[in-house]
Each structure stands twice: as structure tokens, then as C-alpha cells.
């Protein structure tokens, strides 16, 4: 009796795994799974600019460079942002909303992430 139960139960388990694998490989228009991307990057603060913690700024791609700007003034430049971070901004028509996560006064750098 126990062996019959195991034989009947085992194939359905494998079928469920196979269905999920097919779902993961199938692209959908409205996918609820968020991609695993770098959510923040480090940027160098421009001279004469001050940035405060928690400030909301715009992230833009300008001449194939990623910059952070407040209104019309560029306040920080990303020297080497992660490819996923750059790609996320690029996929949003080259502009995204960002928030300052950390300010490092000694090194004149700032950690900027995407707004939630």
C-alpha cells in the first residue's frame, strides 16, 4: 500500500516542476517578476554642488553618460555605473527618478538609487 502511494504521488510532482520551468522560459507582456538589477550606484559630486540625504533627483543619460540632475543643473556624474543600472535608466527612455541613499563628504561621492 505504501509503495503504490509513492508511485502515484511522484509523477505529479515532476509535472508541476516542468510546468513552472516552461512558465519561467515563456516571455509575457505583463510579467510580475521584477528583474534582479543593481538598485543603486555611486556618483561623483560636481564642484560647488551640495546634495542632501533623501533628496529626490533625476537620473538621465546624456551623450552616453549617466548623470544626476536637480532641475536643470547637473549635480553628479556616474563614472562607471553598473550595466544593469544603466540599462534600467536606458529602458525608461533615458530618464528615471532617483533618491540619494548616502552622501560621503570626504570622498565627494554620493550613493543614488531608484525611487520606489
Give CA–CA dist 43/20, Å, rounded: 40
Give CA–CA dist 1/17, Å, rounded: 26
Examine residue 32 and state whether it is found in any structural domain, yes or no: no
Examine residue 5 and state whether it is found in any structural domain, yes or no: no
Task: Give how far Cα 114 sits from Cα of 8, 31, 32, 46, 55, Å.
Answer: 49, 20, 18, 20, 12
Domain with 109 in it: 40-114
CA 18 and chain centroid, separation = 29
Give CA–CA dist 105/50, Å, rounded: 10
The number of folded domains in the chain is: 1
**Higher model confidence: residue 18 or residue 79?**
79
Summarised one tens digit per residue, pLDDT across range 32-81 is 555 566 688 999 999 999 999 999 999 999 999 999 999 899 999 999 99
Average pLDDT over residues 22-31: 61
Examine residue 2 and state whether it is found in any structural domain, yes or no: no
Give CA–CA dist 108/33, Å, rounded: 36
Amino acid at each position: 500500500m505504501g509503495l503504490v502511494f509513492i508511485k502515484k504521488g511522484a509523477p505529479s510532482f515532476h509535472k508541476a516542476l516542468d510546468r513552472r520551468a516552461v512558465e519561467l522560459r515563456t516571455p509575457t507582456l505583463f510579467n510580475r517578476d521584477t528583474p534582479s538589477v543593481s538598485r543603486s550606484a555611486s556618483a561623483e559630486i560636481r564642484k560647488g554642488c551640495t546634495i542632501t540625504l533623501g533628496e529626490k533627483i533625476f537620473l538621465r543619460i546624456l551623450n552616453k553618460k549617466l548623470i544626476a540632475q536637480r532641475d536643470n543643473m547637473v549635480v553628479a556624474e556616474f563614472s562607471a555605473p553598473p550595466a544593469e543600472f544603466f540599462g534600467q535608466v536606458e529602458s525608461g527612455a533615458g530618464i528615471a527618478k532617483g533618491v540619494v541613499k548616502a552622501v560621503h563628504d570626504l570622498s565627494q561621492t554620493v550613493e543614488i538609487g531608484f525611487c520606489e
